[in-house]
A and B are shown apart, each in its own frame.
Chain A
Amino acid sequence: MVKKFFECETIDPGNPSSDRITVKFPFSLIERWKHKEITQFYNVATAKKVLDEPKRIFYGTRALSEGWWCYVGKPDIWYIRESVTSTFPSNKVFAVLLDADFEVYGFRSEPAAEDDPLAPNGWRERYGRLIWKSLD
């Protein structure tokens, strides 16, 4: 079966100052959320905002799988249930999770780290490397 995707662009972690790269949202995953976890479906918009303007990019997010990525940002709003929006909490970050082929497989909020409010809690132990950080 041919996989279908929605696409958007984000910073290329290999060359942040050059053209952006394409990341993919699997169609079947979005369909799943649309019919089951509807809050997650609405937060596709939040994930898109984070990919538009990430604050941190981490590499090596899995213990037993090579090459996976985490893009982290600080959106203004997010969906807390179905179509209900709320101000995004100041003490949290929003993490978008991607596999080695830059296909998004999930996203969620996480507590922000004390030593870096734009990174998830425990980032030093959890990830292989911080690849890129925004200037702000």
Chain B
Amino acid sequence: MEELRLEDLLKQINNKEVKRTEPYKPELWYNSFGDCIEFQTKDEAIVADRIDPFLTIYRSADDSTAIGFQLKDVKALMKKHDCNISLIGAQVLNKELMSVAHILIKAYEQKPLTIRKQEGYQEALENLFGKAAMPHGVE
């Protein structure tokens, strides 16, 4: 079996050999190694804004706007709340968006409820569905 050497990977990085060949397409995906669902609207450096033990908002390093989120402990949350998402490989299918929103809401309902928490979960849902779909003040 071919040996994987981190040094070779770091050479590719130092030589800037990897280039994007097509525009970035935001994609909801399941990171099985971290048991988390991730979503980014832009491909740029992330500053993590931890909202609670389950939700982290990804903010732009440029201007602090929300550019995505990470929802952690997905399998445990699904089990606890009897939810079901088809986690196929590293993909969460687009048709599962509503199920992801359902888990987000279940995570939100874990106490304590705070204004910061409400704003964080709203930002995650806005990222997922677009601002038009989540007017402020709707709970």
Contacts and interface: CB of A to CB of B under 8 A. Distances in A.
B36 to A, nearest CB: 8
B121 interface: no
B136 interface: no
A16 interface: no
B40 interface: yes
A108 B44 contact: no
B45 A43 contact: yes
Contact of A126 (B19, B33, B50): B50
A36 B33 contact: no
A14 B6 CA distance: 24
Interface in A83-97: 83, 86, 89, 92, 95, 97
B73 A83 contact: no
Contacts of A38: 18-20, 43
A108 B58 contact: yes
Contact of A109 (B10, B18, B27, B46): B46
B90 A109 contact: no
A78 B44 CA distance: 11
B58 to A, nearest CB: 7
Contacts of A4: 1, 4
B77 A80 contact: no
Nearest to A25: B6
A57 interface: no
**Of residues B13, B31, B77, B90, which shows the largest number of chain A Cβ atoms within 10 Å of its Cβ?**
B13
Interface string A74-113: 0000111111001001001001010100011110111100
A106 B58 CA distance: 13
A36 B27 contact: yes
B39 to A, nearest CB: 11
B46 to A, nearest CB: 4
A115 interface: no
B31 A105 contact: yes
Given A45-B13, A45-B14, A79-B45, A62 B73 contact: yes
Nearest to A122: B50
12 contacts: A28-B90, A32-B29, A34-B18, A44-B9, A65-B35, A79-B45, A81-B43, A109-B48, A110-B50, A111-B47, A121-B50, A126-B50
User: A-B pairs with the 6 shortest C-beta distances?
Assistant: A105-B34, A63-B53, A64-B76, A105-B33, A83-B16, A64-B73
